[in-house]
Amino acid sequence: MESHREPDLREVDPEIAALIEGEDRRQRESLRLIASENYASKAVLEASASTLTNKYAEGYPGRRYYEGMDFVDPIERLAIDRAKRLFGAEHANVQPYSGSPANLAVLLGLCAPGDTIMGLSLPAGGHLTHGWKVSATGIYYHSVQYGVRREDHRIDMDQVRDLAREQRPKLIWCGHSAYPRLLDFEAFAAIAQEVGAYLVADIAHIAGLIAGGVHPSPIPHADAVTTTTHKTLRGPRGGLILCKAEHAAKIDKAVFPGLQGGPHNHTTAAKAVAFHEALQPAFKAYAAQIVANAKALAARLIERGYDLVTGGTDNHLLLVDLTRQGVGGRKVARDLNACGIELNANSIPFDPRKPFDPSGLRIGLASVTSRGLGEAAMDGIAGVIDAGIKASLAGGAEGIDPAAAERLKGQIREMLAPFPAPGL
C-alpha cells in the first residue's frame, strides 16, 4: 500500500514559498539595524511553527473552556514560571498577542475610560500606546504627555513631577520606542507614589538588556511591567505582562476575557523557549555586547561628523540627527535599504520636519550582535552607513546610483559572511 506524503509549502504554494526564501536571503545578506528587530533562534522558530497552532485554549491553566489541555497547560505554566524567574516578578501573564495589547490590558485592568494617564510624548521618543492622540490610549483616556529637555534631549524629571502634581494621573507610563538613555525607574516611582498613581513600565525595547543585567530593572518599583518578547529579548513576536501579586486578578481578567480570546499556544511555547535561553549565562554576555556595540558605533559615527540625539547611547539604540546633512530621514532610509542597510526614519525631539519625513534615523544593534559582530566591526558598519548616506545625498531626488548601491551591498555581504544568521 502506497504511503501518503503530504505536499510541502513549495508544492502547495510556490509563490509564497519563493517570497519567504527571498526574505530568508535578505535577512542573511542585509545589515539589519532596525531597533525593534532581531534574529530568533532555531529553537524559538521551531516552537513557533509547531502543531500547537492547531489548539484553542481560552482561559488559564487549570481553568480552561476547552478540553485537551494535557500539554498546553504545562507549556503555559513553564512560560509563566520562567518569565517570573527571569525578571524576578511576582506574577506573569504570557498570553498577550503583542506589546500594544499588553498595554491596553494594563489600562483596562487598572483604569476606567476617561481617567488621566501620563506618558512620554511620541516626538520625544515615546510609544503610541502611552496616550498619543491617534491611539486608543489617547482616545479613551485623558492623556497628558511629558517630554525631554531642549538642551540635552533627556527626560525632564522636574517636568514629569510638576505635570503629575498638576494633573494627578491615575497611571504614569515610563518607557520608550526611541530614547537612547537609561530610565530612572526609582525616580518615576517616587513621583507616582507622591500623587497616588500606578506606575507602569513599558520595557519592550530594553527587556533583553534588563534580563541580561545591563539596564536597571523596573520590577522593584512598578505596579506593572509590559514588554514584547522579540526585540532585545530575542523571542517570538508576542507580549508579556509582569505585575505585583495584588494586581494579578485584574490584569488577568483584562487580558482574558477583556481583550482576547484564545492565546496563541505556539507563541506561548516559543516564549517559554526564549525565556529559557535568556536565563543562560551566555545571554548576559550578549546583552552586554549589545550596549558595547551601540556605544562603539555611536563613537564611530560622531567621528564621521554625525550628530546623535543626547550625544550617544546607554542602551541598544541611537538616533542620528540629519539636520546638518540637510536631508530628510525618509529618503536616506529608503536609499540605504537599496544598499542592504535596514534602519528606519525617525522623528527627533523638537523636529522641525513632518513625522512622515522626519530629521532622524533610528539604529539598533540587537540583530548584528546576535550574529556575533563585536566592537571591532562597528567601524566598518559606520563606514558603510556613511558611504550610503553620502551616495544618497549625491543621488538627490533621482535616488541613489544603482551601481553605488550594488557596491555597498557587496561590501556588506562580505562583512557578514563570517557571521551566520541565527535561525537561518
Q: Which of 237, 244, 250, 390 is catalytic?
A: 237
Residue 271 annotated as catalytic: no
Residue 58 annotated as catalytic: yes
3-state secondary structure of 360: strand
Q: Which of 32, 55, 181, 231 is catalytic?
A: 231
CA 26 to chain centre: 20
Residue 231 annotated as catalytic: yes
Environment class of 15 (CB within 10 Å of its CB; exposed 0-12, middle 13-18, buried 19+):
exposed
Q: Which of 116, 274, 99 is nearest to 202 (CA)?
A: 99
State how far the Cα of 142 lies from the Cα of 157, in Å rounded to an integer. 21
Residue 110: how many other CB atoms lie within 10 Å: 21
Q: Which of 28, 29, 56, 161 is catalytic?
A: 56
Q: Which of 46, 58, 357, 375 is catalytic?
A: 58
Q: Which of 76, 202, 335, 351 is catalytic?
A: 202
Residue 13 annotated as catalytic: no
Q: Which of 228, 229, 232, 313 is catalytic?
A: 228
Residue 158 annotated as catalytic: no
Cα–Cα separations (whole angstroms), residue 145 to 25, 120, 163, 261, 342: 42, 6, 9, 32, 30
Residue 223 annotated as catalytic: no
State how far the Cα of 241 lies from the Cα of 230, in Å rounded to an integer. 14
Enter the C-alpha cell of residue 28.
542573511
Enter the C-alpha cell of residue 180.
537612547
Active site residues: 56, 58, 202, 228, 231, 237
